[in-house]
Structure 1
Amino acid sequence: MKNVLICASLLGSVLVFAQEKDSTALKIDEVIINTYIKKDSEYSNKMPLKAIENPQVYSSIDKTILENQGIFTVDDAFKNITGLQTMWTANGRAGDGGAYVNLRGFVAANSLRNGVLGAVTGTIDAVNLEKLEVLKGPSGTLFGSLLSSYGGVINRVTKKPFETFGGNVSLAGGSYDTYRAAVDVNTPLTNDKKLLFRLNSAYTNEGTFQTEGFRRNLAIAPSLSYKPTDRLSINLDMELFQMKSMSDQTFFFYSGDYLKKVNNIRDLNLDYKNSYLGKDLTNTGRSINFFGQVQYKVSNSITSSTNFSSASSYSDGFMPYLYFMGDDATSMYRSDQSTRDSRKKSINFQQNFNGDFKIGNLRNRVVLGFDYLRVNNNQNFYDVNGFDKDAGGNSIPVPLHQQGFDYTNFNGTALQSMYNSMAGNEKPYLITGKQENYAVYVSNVLNITNNLNVLMALRVDNFVNKPDTAAGADERKKLNQTFFSPKFGVVYEVIKDKISIFGNYQNSFKNLDYYTDASDVTRTPVPEQANQMEGGIKTSLFNGKVSSTFSYYNIKVKDVLRSAQIAANPRAQIQDGTIVSRGVDLEINAYLVKGFTAIAGFSYNDSKYTKADQNVLDRRPSTSGSPYLANLYASYQFLDGNLKGLGFGVGGNYASENKIYNSSDGVFSLPSYIVLNASAYYDAKKFRIGVKVDNFTNERYWVGYTTANPQKLINAVGTVTYKF
Structure 2
Amino acid sequence: MKPFILKCGTILSAFLIVNSTYAQLSGPHPNVETERVESTDELQRPGSISGLILSENDEPLVGISLKLEEISLGITSDENGYYKLKDIPPGSYTITASGLGYAASKQNVIVRGGRNTELNLQLNKTAQSLNEVIITGSQNRFARKESDFVGKMPLLNIENPQVYNSIGKELLTEQLVYSVDDAMRNAPGIQKMWEATGRAGDGGAYYNTRGFITQGLLRNGIAGKVTSSIDAINIEKIEVIKGPSATLFGSSLTSYGGSINRVTKKPFENFSTEVTLAGGTNDFHRISADINTPVTADKSLLFRLNTAYNYEGTFQKIGYNKSFALAPSLTYKANDRLTVNLDVEFFSVNGTGKQMIFFYHPAVALGISSAEDMNLDYEKSYMGEGLTQKSENINFFGQVNYKISDYVTSSTNFTTTTNSSEGFGAYFYLVPDNLVTGNDADAGQANYLARADQSTIDSKDRSFEIQQLFTGDFHIGSMRNRVVLGLDYYVTNIDELFYGSEYDIVPLHNPNFDYSQFNGENQAAMYDNEDIDFTWPVNKQSKTYSAFVSDVLNLTDQLSVLAALRIDRFENAAGVEGVAYEGYDQNALSPKFGIVYQPILDKVSIFANYQNSFTNKGFYSAYDAESSQIVQEAADLEHANQVEGGVKLDLLNGKLTTSLSYYNILVENMLRADPNPDAAQLSAQIQDGSQRSKGFEVDLIASPLEGLNIVAGFSYNDSEYEKSDADVLGRRPTTASSPYLGNLWVSYRFPQHIAKGFGIGFGGNYASENKILNSVYYGEFSLPSYTVLNASAFYDFPKVRIGLKVDNITNEHYWIGYTTANPQSTRQMVASLSYKF
| Range into which the TM-score falls when normalised by the shorter chain | over 0.9
SS in 2 for 1:518: strand
Q: Please state if 1:382 is matched with 2:382.
A: no
How far 1:570 sits from its partner (Å)?
4.0
SS in 2 for 1:335: strand
How far 1:678 sits from its partner (Å)?
0.2
Report the equivalent of 2:456.
339
Closer, same or farther in 2 for the Cα pair 1:28/1:442, shift >3 Å?
A: farther
Report the equivalent of 1:651.
763
Report the equivalent of 1:3.
none
SS in 1 for 2:763: strand
Report the equivalent of 1:6.
none
Give deviations 1:320-361, integer Å, cap 9, x for gaps. Answer: 000125454111211111100111000010000000011122
Q: Please state if 1:478 is matched with 2:478.
A: no
How far 1:296 sits from its partner (Å)?
0.1
Contact 1:376 1:435 in 2 (8 A): yes
Distance 2:363 2:353 in 1: 29
How far 1:401 sits from its partner (Å)?
1.6
How far 1:705 sits from its partner (Å)?
2.3
Report the equivalent of 1:449.
556
Give deviations 1:423-447, integer Å, cap 9, x for gaps. Answer: 7x76411111101011000000010
Contact 2:431 2:447 in 1 (8 A): no
Contact 1:258 1:325 in 2 (8 A): no
Report the equivalent of 1:330.
447
Matches within 5 A, 1:669-680: 669-680=782-793
How far 1:638 sits from its partner (Å)?
1.7
Distance 1:469 1:249 in 2: 29
Task: Give the alignment partner of residue 694 of structure 2, picking from 549, 571, 582.
Answer: 582
Distance 2:138 2:460 in 1: 46
Report the equivalent of 1:513.
618
Contact 1:501 1:538 in 2 (8 A): yes
Q: Please state if 1:416 is matched with 2:524.
A: yes
Report the equivalent of 2:104.
none
SS in 1 for 2:521: helix
Q: Please state if 1:499 is matched with 2:604.
A: yes
Distance 2:305 2:410 in 1: 27
Q: Which amino acid letter does the alignment assign opposite residue 280 of structure 2? A: G
Report the equivalent of 2:729.
617
SS in 1 for 2:185: helix
Unpaired stretches in structure 1, ≥5 consecutive residues: 1-24, 389-396
Report the equivalent of 1:593.
705
SS in 1 for 2:641: strand
Distance 2:745 2:213 in 1: 25
Task: Give the alignment partner of residue 490 of structure 1, picking from 595, 599, 621.
Answer: 595
How far 1:569 sits from its partner (Å)?
3.4
SS in 2 for 1:120: coil
Distance 1:605 1:718 in 2: 37
Report the equivalent of 1:463.
570
Report the equivalent of 2:396.
290
TM-score, normalised to structure 2's length? Answer: 0.81
Aligned positions, number: 688
SS in 2 for 1:76: helix
Matches within 5 A, 1:48-63: 48-63=154-169
Closer, same or farther in 2 for the Cα pair 1:561/1:375, shift >3 Å?
A: same
Closer, same or farther in 2 for the Cα pair 1:446/1:432, shift >3 Å?
A: same
How far 1:684 sits from its partner (Å)?
0.9
Report the equivalent of 1:532.
642
Q: Which amino acid letter does the alignment assign opposite residue 294 of structure 1? A: V
How far 1:706 sits from its partner (Å)?
1.5
Give deviations 1:357-414, integer Å, cap 9, x for gaps. Answer: 1112211100000011000000111111x111xxxxxxxx321122211111111111
Contact 2:664 2:695 in 1 (8 A): yes
Distance 1:94 1:528 in 2: 26
Report the equivalent of 1:437.
544
How far 1:255 sits from its partner (Å)?
3.2
Q: Please state if 1:561 is matched with 2:671.
A: yes
Distance 2:453 2:467 in 1: 39
Distance 1:334 1:61 in 2: 39
Distance 1:146 1:480 in 2: 15
Distance 2:716 2:429 in 1: 30
How far 1:472 sits from its partner (Å)?
7.3
Contact 1:693 1:716 in 2 (8 A): yes
Q: Which amino acid letter does the alignment assign opposite residue 501 of structure 1? A: I
Report the equivalent of 1:373.
490
Contact 1:256 1:325 in 2 (8 A): no
Report the equivalent of 1:11.
none
Give deviations 1:603-662, integer Å, cap 9, x for gaps. Answer: 000001111111100001001100000000000002311411000000000000000111
Q: Which amino acid letter does the alignment assign opposite residue 790 of structure 2? A: N
How far 1:471 sits from its partner (Å)?
9.6
Distance 2:370 2:406 in 1: 61
My pick for the range that moved more, 705-714 or 250-259, is: 250-259
How far 1:32 sits from its partner (Å)?
5.4
Closer, same or farther in 2 for the Cα pair 1:28/1:216, shift >3 Å?
A: farther
Contact 1:201 1:220 in 2 (8 A): yes
Distance 2:276 2:144 in 1: 27
Contact 1:37 1:591 in 2 (8 A): no
SS in 2 for 1:521: strand
Q: Please state if 1:240 is matched with 2:352.
A: no
Report the equivalent of 1:700.
813
Report the equivalent of 2:742.
630
CA RMSD of aligned residues (A): 1.7
How far 1:97 sits from its partner (Å)?
5.0
How far 1:187 sits from its partner (Å)?
0.7
Give deviations 1:665-713, integer Å, cap 9, x for gaps. Answer: 3101100000000000000110100000000100000000211110010
Matches within 5 A, 1:104-143: 104-143=210-249
Task: Give the alignment partner of residue 384 of structure 2, picking from 275, 278, 288.
Answer: 278
Report the equivalent of 1:40.
146
Contact 1:259 1:668 in 2 (8 A): no
Matches within 5 A, 1:546-557: 546-557=656-667
Task: Give the alignment partner of residue 717 of structure 2, picking from 605, 612, 615.
Answer: 605
Report the equivalent of 2:477.
360
SS in 1 for 2:755: coil
SS in 2 for 1:222: strand
Task: Give the alignment partner of residue 683 of structure 1, picking from 783, 796, 805.
Answer: 796
Closer, same or farther in 2 for the Cα pair 1:596/1:472, shift >3 Å?
A: closer
Distance 1:638 1:427 in 2: 61
SS in 1 for 2:273: strand
Give deviations 1:555-589, integer Å, cap 9, x for gaps. Answer: 00001111114466343111111000000001110
Unpaired stretches in structure 2, ≥5 consecutive residues: 1-74, 77-132, 433-442, 625-629
Contact 1:289 1:311 in 2 (8 A): yes
Distance 1:628 1:189 in 2: 50
Closer, same or farther in 2 for the Cα pair 1:680/1:74, shift >3 Å?
A: same
Distance 2:792 2:385 in 1: 34
Q: Which amino acid letter does the alignment assign opposite residue 522 of structure 2? A: A
Q: Which amino acid letter does the alignment assign opposite residue 431 of structure 1? A: V
Q: Which amino acid letter does the alignment assign opposite residue 621 of structure 2? A: T
Percentage identity across paired residues of the two chains: 52
Q: Which amino acid letter does the alignment assign opposite residue 685 of structure 1? A: P
Report the equivalent of 1:305.
411
Report the equivalent of 1:713.
826
Contact 2:411 2:470 in 1 (8 A): yes
Q: Please state if 1:194 is matched with 2:300.
A: yes
TM-score, normalised to structure 1's length? Answer: 0.93
Contact 2:536 2:578 in 1 (8 A): no
